[in-house]
Amino acid sequence: MNDLTQTPEMLIGAMAARARQAGIILAQASDADKARGLELAAQALRDKTDAIVRANAQDMENAAANGLSPSMLDRLRLDPARIDSTAAGVEQVAHLPNPLGEVIDETHRPNGLLLQRVRVPLGVIGIIYESRPNVTADAAALCLRAGNAAILRGGSEAIESNRAIHAAMIEGIGAAGLPVNAIQLVPTTDRAAVGAMLRAAGLIDLIVPRGGKSLVARVQEEARVPVLAHLDGMNTTYVHASADPDMARELVVNAKMRRTGICGATETVLLDAAYPARSEIVAALLNAGCAVRGDAAVQALDPRVTPANEEDWDTEYLEAIVSIAQVSGLDEAIAHIAAHSSYHTDAIIAEDSSAAERFLNAVDSAIVMWNASTQFADGGEFGLGAEIGISTGRLHARGPVALEGLTTYKWIVRGTGQKRP
């Protein structure tokens, strides 16, 4: 019986068993071997660029025929430059400091015991993702480098791209003598396989979903396995009264329009009523090709602005659309973000350092920024190499999740014959 003739539960169970065994082998591999495997995987990605581009062209054709939005097509699209960037990300992960074995802290007890908390792999990680085929390489690299085995389930729209990237990755790690079952791609696009992963308690140690609201909601509702959630990027940029006009205009346009389909894109702009160049911000966005939906005060700034409704303040557009509201000051901006944020990334543009520090301390998001584009919400830009996702929760890891976020710890206790009285 092959993988495609098994029930979803049998398929995932068999993959998890192979992953667990691969993890045992990985634990015995040196860090240099794992780094070498990723270097060879990066080279394989570059060597197989033509094949990956052909596979992606097939996915793009199918996705366009199925009516995928322009922003989702942009997420799906691969070209030689993007493949080279993905390979560079894999290389960067290979060269990052190894977190495994790090002594987080240690304590000498009065009875002579030495207690240490030491970083270790999480185990078998299931990654469920949509559209972006580069996640196949990013997730594989991060999981392997942190000593974990990964089961990857990409979206049906990217199946051919994912298969081509996966083939290159396992070619590289196999050439380094590492177990190819450490990185497995679910061979079916049957949605039942996702359900089987979510129910695989005891087989899979952590689920990481990367996708839209419906995917994340399903994972959180059905999972019997711990989940590291990557929610939507309802990101806000607040232009404070003290903002430099040139900086504010350039940052707002970049935060929204550099790439509209990524989770770090700004979706809401808040303009302080005391900021004198409000109309310039609105005009710059409109002139850049962005549709602006605004409250009454913002509509009065430019006749091209259309009315915003209540749903707009909670919408991740992932397109060239932005919602803009006018606020009476810092407190109202913070309150607006608290009411509508997904706790991903929020930014303030200000020259007033005290106002900026209040914002950074008061806004309870995974990433808060001062005078920087929200599009920097990315593990690579944080110096973490590739990222498995941006966690918007509060447990285990938060913000861009890279190597350290894919580890846990164990207690090591060293004694000299102590008996408990």
CA of 350: how far to CAs of 77, 202, 246, 321, 370, in Å? 36, 49, 12, 24, 7
Nearest CA among 306, 303, 237 for reference residue 265: 237
Total Cβ atoms within 10 A of residue 43: 17
Angle at CA of residue 374, ends 337 and 91, nearest 5°:
140
Residues 205 and 108: their CA atoms lie apart, in Å, by: 31
pLDDT digits (tens, 9 = 90+) for 147-165: 999 999 999 999 999 999 9
pTM (2 d.p.): 0.84
Residue 3: predicted pLDDT: 59
Low-confidence ranges of the chain (pLDDT < 50): none
Please report the domains of the chain, with CATH numbers, ordered by start residue.
Answer: 3-228+388-414 (3.40.605.10), 235-376 (3.40.309.10)
Nearest to 83 by CA among 23, 138, 12, 10: 138
253 vs 303: CA distance, rounded Å: 19
3-class SS at 220? helix
Beta carbons of 132 and 83 less than 8 angstroms apart: no
- Around Cβ 118, how many Cβ atoms within 10 Å? 16
Helix/strand number for the chain, H first, E second? 14, 16
Q: What share of the chain is helix, strand, coil (3-state, %, to 5)?
A: 45, 20, 35
Alpha carbon separation from 402 to 117, 292, 329, 394 (Å, rounded): 20, 35, 36, 16
Q: Which residues of 220-251 are buried (b: 16+ CB within 10 A; e: fewer)?
A: eeebebebbbbbbbbbbbbbbbbbeeeebbeb
- 326, amino acid identity: Q
* Residue (of 61, 83, 82, 73) closest to 165 by Cα position: 83
Amino acid at position 17, single letter = A
Closest CA to 159 of 90, 76, 84: 76
Q: Which residue has the tokens 């005078």?
A: 371
Asked if residues 299 and 269 have their Cβ atoms less than 8 Å apart, the reply is: no
Which tokens hold the place of 48? 């197989």
Name 300's Cβ contacts closer than 8 Å, sequence gap at least 6. none
Taking the C-alpha atoms of residue 375 and residue 288, their distance in angstroms, rounded to an integer, is: 17
